[in-house]
Amino acid sequence: MTQALPLTPDYDAWPIEAEPKQVFFSPRLLTVTWCDGRESRYHSIWLRENAADETTVNPATRERILDLSTLPSWPEISDAEIDEAGALCIGFAPEGLRLRFHPGWLRAHDYDNAHDPEAPLVPITTWKRDSGEGLNSLDAAGLLETEEGSETEEAILAPALSSILGKGLVRLRNLPTTPDSLEAIARRIGPVRPTNFGMLFNVKAKPNPDSNAYTSIALPPHVDLPTREYQPGMQMLHCLENSVEGGEAVMLDGFAVAEALREQHYEAFATLTRARWCFANTAKTTDYVWYSPMIRLDERGELFEVRIADFLRGPLQTNFEDVEPAYEALMVLQKMLRDPTFAIRFTYKPGDLVIFDNRRLLHARDAFEGTSGHRWLQGCYMERDEIRSRFRIVKRASRKRNATDETSFA
């Protein structure tokens, strides 16, 4: 019987892009030459910690149980070979263990060759009104009738999730207009994040509103809940009814605005990445306050999030000499947000669901005539993590279905 490939320390599927051809080792280093000529080096301690055997991970959960500090000494390689299944078989001293590594997994985690493990799952594409990279609309009819995890569900979710990750938003059409159906739709992606506005919130004009969103007035470009230490990463707005005059929706790519600001008004951009503004949402029963720059960069200087919401800013509290530069930068940004070249506009139709990155996209609304009809959107929040997780699961399922050789996967 042909020996099977070993398990991997996760639940993913790892296609074998190139088979291992030769292996060389020293006590602390393994070198693999692949059939396409690539050479990969792996440290012995890295290999030992990332093995998939039951001394390293719990086979029921694939979570690590090995504590490296409990080993008698630094793990070293005593021998190494490519076995008949194509797995890398490595002996480790001083434990006397012989462990096998899946070649597809090992190559995919080749840290010796240039690749960015933190690269976005989908390339980020910034957009403006006329760039042709804005709102993708997809037919999602029957989504709730599909079996969870099915190929049919994947056909709807895969392009939707890809659009959210790459462009920051997507519009799904032809969904049910039953009140509260949004939660069932959202859970096809991941858990919903409840807030003080509830699990679901109703965006419609109402008496005694506790937010400007619950009126018929125009809303300027903004993100939701910048008043939180960790503002929601994703927002969904589901149209149940819309027969009013006006109320056109407006969306802007906050990353495109920030990039334009960096190119055209660098001092203003730099100021807005440093100055910590007060964001406040004070109501009769809640009082949320947080301080943050309006534009945040990650450790590599890439755009990470924007926090822009004029109607949710509290009094600026900063160094005396920084007040005027902060307001000068703010006004440059405000003028840029009014530039129509950044905005796409559309009208919600019943059954539409717009999902967008709430830490990147700015949304706005024209005023509408409240007596001309009814406008009812239901909304909810979730985290960026849920979108990324669901996308990985969808792609994993696709890889498994498309496998032509079952022995190529763990």
> Residue for token digits 């939660």?
183
Cis amide linkage into residue 94, ω under 30° from 0: yes
First and final C-alpha spacing in the chain = 18
Tokens for 171, please give them.
């519009």
Q: What span, in angstroms and rounded, lies between the C-alpha atoms of 68 and 56? A: 10
- Give the whole-angstrom CA distance, residue 229 versus residue 246: 34
**pLDDT digits over 330-354, tens only?**
999 999 999 999 999 999 999 999 9
- Rounded Cα distance, 28 and 30, in Å: 7
CB atoms within 10 A of CB 231: 21
> Tens of pLDDT along 105-130?
999 999 999 778 888 999 999 999 88
CATH 3.60.130.10 for domain 137-393 = yes
CA distance 44 to 24: 12
364-397 pLDDT per residue, tens: 998 887 666 688 999 999 999 999 999 999 998 8
What's the one-letter identity of residue 326? A
Q: Give pLDDT, residue 409.
A: 39
CATH 3.30.2020.30-classified regions of the chain: 20-115
Residues of the chain with CATH 3.60.130.10: 137-393
pTM given for the model: 0.89
Q: What pLDDT, on the 0 to 100 scale, is given for residue 406?
A: 47
Average pLDDT over residues 194-204: 92
| For helices 323-337 and 266-274, angle between their N-to-C axes, nearest 10 degrees | 110
The Cα–Cα gap between 91 and 108 comes to 22
Q: Which fold has domain 20-115?
A: NE0471 N-terminal domain-like (3.30.2020)
